[in-house]
Amino acid sequence: MCGISAYIGEKEAVPILLEGIKRLEYRGYDSCGVATIFEKELVCRKGAGKIKDVNSKLKLFELKGCVGIAQTRWATHGEPNDVNAHPHFSENKEIAIVHNGIIENASSLRKVLREKGYNFRSKTDSEVVAFLIEDLIKEGNSMGDAFMKALKLVEGAFAIVAINRKKPHKLYVAKQSSPLVLGIANDGLYVASDILPIQKYTRKVVYLQDGDVGILTKSNYSIRDLSNVDVNRDVNELNEEIEETSIGNFEHFMLKEIHEQPKTIHRAFRGRIDNDTAKFGGLNISEKELKRIKRIILVGCGTSWHACLVGGYLLEDIAKIPSQVEYASEFRYKKPVLKEDDLLVVLSQSGETADSIAAINEAKKKGVKTIGLVNSVGSSIARLVDGGIYLHAGQEIGVASTKTFTSHLAVLYLLSVYLGRLNGSLDSEKAKEMLNELEGIPGIVSEMLKDSSKIEEVASKYFEGNNALYLGRHYNFPIALEGALKLKEISYIHAEGYPAAEMKHGPIALIDENMPVVVIAPEGRLYSKILSNIEEVKSRRGKVIVITTNGLEDGFDEVIKIPKVSDYLMPLVSVIPVQLLSYYVAKKRGCDIDKPRNLAKSVTVE
């Protein structure tokens, strides 16, 4: 989390930095700030709030200088306030740093520095780095050496950029576990947490690796590892087009992204259907190796984990491969028993989620092949896995994931068909029929999105509640989880998702006339079973909002109709109303839908 932008070159830095952190605001938005060196002075302005508000209040745009650093923050240590905002100065105010990550030994380092007489200003873990550099300079080190030595003392995850008033022609950068990218342009060097702030200025980028420490001037750079040995990093050429990120006629990016789904689902399978199977360009695992796979482990976090759950069902149902779903954050520490004939499939929108990266590293250590289903091109996960399938959904700006969830589902469906064909569990005719049905989904979703009046009406009736329960079975159980997560995230209503039959093992105690229960109950294999679960809710006077297939509308408080598709593809359809319901409820409650409190889109700390 936290977005870093820095520049050294011929141009005025601040317009570049402000635009840079604006592009990175999805990573965190509780406070922000900028520091530059101008006429031998190190100047800084920073404060709590979103960039737009801080900029108009503190006039960040007024700062001058051709070298500077900026950050938009998502607080880990120290509440989001003016003092804890980045950049942070050393005690003598000669050095300023921005940091993304967590310095895990910050309190012991602070203690040592306090004993030496230093007084800290903020409650952050980050500030200690600036103080350490100052202390090491006082011991006789050059800025470059002090920067390197300070980084050897800190433990944890960091992407750091520093400037020193006395070295106005240099930027100091370092990376360990948190991403940092250099952009090389004719006018200077750009630094950022990802390529988004850079791609407009140059197509040449260097992805720093863990342990890299660099010194940049406006026309050159050198990189060393933490043992002070020069390292060479490839200069990569960005091929992808610069993405359109305007909000168009929509009131929020989330609504825009919900409405983009016919297009993004189509993009997820475009060019990947080959008669009676699927094809992928970047799997990088041979068919022979894939045929040997005995178990698939799907890992992800949050919404991506919900997509993993659907994927687990699809892979077992269609490709008949035993599949298991794990939270990346648990998987990394549970000492998983892994075998070489396992395959790890990692799902991530951002491609930067720290826990998912750790899960990949855990699998790789044990010789397990890894595949990433990622949206962000060139992201850390995309570069780390053995092979991958991009979602091609375009940048997702709303913090709550919507379009990338359905893209994940479409890709998992294709992957299941591909593996099913490969291992012979799926015959050609059935595969053709299944692929044909997938091709029809964008049209179906497009029709659904034409009229959301019923969902808006339901939102108007229930938006003032404090709780909600979401129930679903089998393929629609992950949709119940996703519906509850979306509602929590953007409207701050407490919501739980449950497998419908589990309800009677506990949550049923919550049900009374004030509890709205959203039941995802399309016709299908378990329809009669879920009807019984609905009766259990009704008997306790719970308010039943049923999402079901056209034509079934008896005996429920509210009915949201969806078209009938096969069980496999139903989650692509049944998720649309739960996304819209959370959106309209949050809108009625006046919430900041695209930037909900406490959240960030890229979770680069564990």
Enumerate the active-site residues.
2, 601
Residue number closest to ligand F6R, CB atom: 302
Nearest CB to ligand F6R, comparing residues 131 and 207? 207
Least separation in angstroms between CB 304 and ligand F6R: 4
Least separation in angstroms between CB 3 and ligand F6R: 14
Q: How far is CA 388 from its chain centroid?
A: 17
Least separation in angstroms between CB 254 and ligand F6R: 9
Question: Which ranges of 449-555 does DSSP label H, i.e. alpha helix?
Answer: 453-462, 477-491, 527-539
Least separation in angstroms between CB 543 and ligand F6R: 25
Buried b (16+ CB within 10 A) or exposed e, 584-597: bbbbbeebebbbbe
Nearest CB to ligand F6R, comparing residues 2 and 515? 2
Least separation in angstroms between CB 384 and ligand F6R: 13
Least separation in angstroms between CB 399 and ligand F6R: 6
d(CA 470, CA 483): 7
Terminal C-alpha separation, the chain: 10
Least separation in angstroms between CB 348 and ligand F6R: 3
Q: Do residues 565 and 437 make contact, with C-beta atoms less than 8 angstroms apart?
A: yes
Helices (H) and strands (E) in the chain, counts: 18, 26
Nearest CB to ligand F6R, comparing residues 403 and 421? 403
Q: Which amino acid, 205? A: V
Least separation in angstroms between CB 489 and ligand F6R: 6
Nearest CB to ligand F6R, comparing residues 94 and 489? 489
Q: Which 3-state string (H, E, C) describes 271-340?
A: CCEECCEECCCCCCCCHHHHHCCCEEEEEECHHHHHHHHHHHHHHHHHHCCCEEEEEHHHHCCCCCCCCC
Least separation in angstroms between CB 152 and ligand F6R: 30
Nearest to 258 by CA among 402, 441, 443: 402
With tokens 């909600």, the residue in question is 468
Least separation in angstroms between CB 130 and ligand F6R: 29
Q: CA 512, 515, 521, 525 torsion: positive or negative? A: negative
Least separation in angstroms between CB 33 and ligand F6R: 25
Question: DSSP label at 249?
Answer: T
In the complex, the residues that contact ligand F6R under the rule CB under 6 A are 301-304, 348-350, 353, 356, 400-401, 485, 489, 603
| Strand partners of residue 567 | none
Nearest CB to ligand F6R, comparing residues 122 and 353? 353
d(CA 417, CA 350): 25
Nearest CB to ligand F6R, comparing residues 401 and 406? 401
d(CA 165, CA 170): 10
Strand, coil or helix: 515 = coil
Q: Do residues 364 and 370 make contact, with C-beta atoms less than 8 angstroms apart?
A: yes
Strand, coil or helix: 118 = coil
**Encoded tokens for 254:** 């989330």
Nearest CB to ligand F6R, comparing residues 189 and 400? 400
d(CA 158, CA 249): 38
Q: Do residues 172 and 214 make contact, with C-beta atoms less than 8 angstroms apart?
A: yes
Q: Do residues 392 and 403 make contact, with C-beta atoms less than 8 angstroms apart?
A: no
d(CA 175, CA 157): 8
Nearest CB to ligand F6R, comparing residues 314 and 360? 360
Question: DSSP label at 557?
Answer: S
With tokens 């519906």, the residue in question is 483
Q: How many CB atoms lie within 10 A of CB 127?
A: 29
Nearest CB to ligand F6R, comparing residues 137 and 301? 301
Nearest CB to ligand F6R, comparing residues 100 and 164? 100
- H or E segment at 432? helix 428-448
Q: Do residues 528 and 541 make contact, with C-beta atoms less than 8 angstroms apart?
A: no
Q: Do residues 196 and 394 make contact, with C-beta atoms less than 8 angstroms apart?
A: no
Nearest CB to ligand F6R, comparing residues 201 and 405? 405
